[in-house]
Amino acid sequence: MTTGIEVRHIGKDYAGKPAVAEVSFTVADRELFVIVGESGCGKSTLLRLIAGLETPDRGEILLHGARVAGQGTMVPPEQRGTGFVFQSYALWPHMTVRDNVAFPLEAGGMSHKQAARSVEAHLETVSMKELAARKPEALSGGQRQRVALARCLAGGARTILMDEPLANLDPHLRGTMERELLHFHRSSGATTLYITHDQREAMALADRMAVMKGGRFLQVGTPQEIYERPGSVEVAEFIGHGSVVEVYYRDGMADLSGCRFAATAVSGQPEGAARALVRPEGIEILDAGAEGQLAGTVRSVLYRGGIWEAGLDLDAGASLTVAHDAPMRVGDRLAIRIKRAWVLPG
Ligand code: ADP
Ligand code: MG
């Protein structure tokens, strides 16, 4: 597989403080790679370094095999073959949808007629053909975002960089746009780097993803790997709604206050004290009156549409997040059985 983006030991400081401390990763050609992390962790700075809007203090960047930044090299943004989609739409307000998409083509020297044909194809890709004559002000947020995507395609971008493009949209539109983005990504054939603070969105979109914190990557993997086998407490607590508890690990079993349950670990995990991630779907809530392995009292309840999610204080001391398809109330007594857990390495 050829490489779309290659970032080697990249770093960028502002006023002596690293915004991006030290990041290395590669994105395969045509891959959709998502970086997720809390606000301020350095995501936008990293994207701007790749786009050429910032100069790195350390490291180097290659796009489709060509070195674009690093010691002695700084290829300007317009020569990097990248398209950039921001949270705000950055369309030209005085131009129609059609002219917005045609602009990079005609600016690149294409004839008006040829550009018009190409624009039709790109508007087709994002399902915006019917609205080609409208101005941006007469479009919804989602429609504007689709025009911005079509313009990226028209510009011939082989690499598309997206900085929280769905953050301004209302939640129900976001779901629709996620599906459209996946469709767009596949039909564009571009290498896509997508950043977001929303872990749910990251998992829904990514071929592979990175969890970022404090200017560094904590872990890189498929969404399933990161969700099921987080490499650290930080990742385990950032992704999903699981609980990290102190256990004693031995031979594929974990012991929590005398209660033993199956636990998966990296190979070679030694016997001894460890921390385990227990997710709500790994916990069975037993019928009232049943003899459970563990018992506790419900401390808090959130209704999540068809599912009740509760914070459970175990009599043994630890706290777990549990989910149930029947109502739970603060103060309820619950008996539970832990079906599976993941032992955090290290
Ligand atoms: P994110 O996109 O993950 O929210 P940013 O990359 O925007 O994070 O910012 C990372 C850190 O760098 C933050 O502490 C931010 O305040 C700082 N920073 C970003 N851009 C600049 C800038 N142009 N000048 C000074 N500090 C900046
Ligand atoms: Mg940002």
Q: How far apart are CA 300 and CA 313, in angstroms?
A: 9
Residue 145's pLDDT is 84
Say if residues 235 and 243 touch (Cβ distance below 8 Å): no
Residue 198's pLDDT is 94
- Protein residue closest via CA to atom 24 of ligand 1: 14
Residue 106's pLDDT is 86
Residue 184's pLDDT is 82
The share of the chain scoring above pLDDT 70, in percent, equals 98
Residue 187's pLDDT is 81
Q: How far apart are CA 99 and CA 181, in angstroms?
A: 22
The closest-lying atom of ligand 1 relative to the alpha carbon of residue 39 is 4
Question: Hey, where are the domains in the chain?
Answer: 3-228, 242-343
31 to 36, 84, 190, 194, 229: CA distances (angstroms): 16, 16, 8, 11, 22
Residue 200's pLDDT is 93
Residues with CB under 6 A from ligand 1: 14, 19, 37, 39-45
When the candidates are 1.20.120.640, 3.40.50.620, 3.40.50.300, 3.65.10.10, the CATH number that belongs to 3-228 is 3.40.50.300
pLDDT in tens, 304-345: 999 999 999 999 899 999 999 999 999 999 999 999 999 999
Tell me the three-class secondary structure of 62-112, residue by residue. Answer: EECCEEEEECCEECCHHHCCEEEECCCCCCCCCCCHHHHHHHHHHHCCCCH
Residue 69's pLDDT is 98
Say if residues 128 and 70 touch (Cβ distance below 8 Å): no
Q: How far apart are CA 20 and CA 163, in angstroms?
A: 16
Residue 287's pLDDT is 80
Low-confidence ranges of the chain (pLDDT < 50): none
34 Cα: distance to centroid of ligand 1 (angstroms): 18
Record: fold of 242-343: OB fold (Dihydrolipoamide Acetyltransferase, E2P) (2.40.50)
32 Cα: distance to centroid of ligand 2 (angstroms): 18
How distant is the alpha carbon of residue 174 from its chain centre?
Answer: 14
Residue 1's pLDDT is 62
306 to 242, 303, 322, 338: CA distances (angstroms): 19, 7, 14, 22
44 Cα: distance to centroid of ligand 2 (angstroms): 4
Pocket mutation for ligand 1, best pick of 23, 36, 45, 217 (most atoms within 8 Å of C-beta): 45
Residue 30's pLDDT is 95
Closest CA to 66 of 115, 8, 4: 4
Say if residues 251 and 265 touch (Cβ distance below 8 Å): no
Sign of CA dihedral 232, 238, 241, 244: positive
Kindly state the DSSP code that residue 209 receives in the 8-state scheme: E
12 Cα: distance to centroid of ligand 2 (angstroms): 15
Residue 63's pLDDT is 96
